[in-house]
Amino acid sequence: MNIIISLTVSFLAVFGLVVIAFVGVWGAHLEWLFGVVIPYLAVITFFIGIVYRVVQWAKCPVPFRIPSTCAQQKSLPWIKYGYAEKLDNPVNTFWVVCRMILEVLCFRSLFRNTRLEFGSGQEIKYKSAKWLWLGAIAFHYTFLIVLLRHLRFFTEPMPFFVKIIENVDGFFQMFLPTVYQSGFILGAAVTYLLLRRILDGKMRYISLPADYFPLFMILGLVTTGVLMRYVLKADIVSIKELTLGLVSFKPVVPEGISVIFYIHLFLVSVFFAYFPFSKLTHMAGVFLSPTRNLSNNTRIVRHINPWNNPVKFHTYQAYEDEFREKMKDAGLPVDKE
């Protein structure tokens, strides 16, 4: 699909959501719909969708070991099989767990990834993907920090670790209210991932509106969140009253909450509802990926497809007994006369 069309469709979809929330709250005064009904529906859709996707993945049969690897498999004692090989080509569950920890927390395979490019005169060049790794690390960890910081709106009293996160996140304090670095780093990381898809020819060629929409959606979340905190002030007390009512199943919609909050909440709700049906579900899928969560012990254990039908073998001896006379007539050698 043309990049202009993909970008336009994705951007207009997010912009349309903003307009819907603005008109619904500012014009139609549907605060209860956007503050209570839609968030509940979004959370229900999120959990049902995630459970459905995980169950569907878990039902997929994987009879053979198919881990992706770039290291030597354990074999003969005199062939090197060190710690690097154990992580890249694990032979037992312990090393699979170690590999998964590094994959989930450090994106180890992305850190070690290289990409092939053709230079002048069809010269092959291999380039590092460290910038992509750094952008991915910055995006995922700042997103996690922002989510954990938002627990202050849904808990009373606030968990101790949320206060620690806020202190660390806002250590570079120059203004009031405290400037949290995670929000701006998250915005920069999402912008980098978006520009990468736009400026890289190969990425641009394979990208669809479904690839741009989540990035524009997250940019919308970051933008409305930053505006609400630093520019268009919102009534935090009323917002916390609303969020505590949601989690305690005693919903209430206080008066005086600004429109920017409902726009932000509506974008969050749509994001949660969209999450299970998009590529973003790799958050759960990484733990069910047979290329990552299986040990490579095919030289140690014979793996037999459990649902194969029994094979009726026809040995050569039986074949010769059946066609011996015809083989003799054709001049073919036989084992028995």
pLDDT in tens, 218-272: 999 999 999 998 888 888 999 999 999 999 999 999 988 999 999 999 999 999 9
Q: What pLDDT digit, counting tens, does each position of 185-205 carry?
A: 999 999 999 999 999 888 999
Contact 54, 284 (CB under 8 A): yes
Residue 111, pLDDT > 80, answer yes
- Mean predicted confidence (pLDDT) in 110-114: 87
Give the strand pairing for 114-118 and 124-128: antiparallel
Q: What pLDDT digit, counting tens, does each position of 33-90 carry?
A: 999 999 999 999 999 999 999 999 988 887 788 888 888 888 888 999 999 899 999 9
Q: Which SS3 state, helix, strand or coil, does residue 100 take?
A: helix
How far is 109 from 87, CA to CA, in rounded Å?
11
Secondary-structure percent of the chain, ordered helix, strand, coil, rounded to 5: 65, 5, 35
Structural domains of the chain ordered from first start: 3-311 (1.20.950.20)
- Mean predicted confidence (pLDDT) in 144-149: 96
Distances (CA, A) of 233 to 67, 204, 239: 51, 38, 12
Residue 127 main-chain phi, psi, to 5 deg: -120, 150
Q: Which amino acid does the sequence have at 202?
A: K
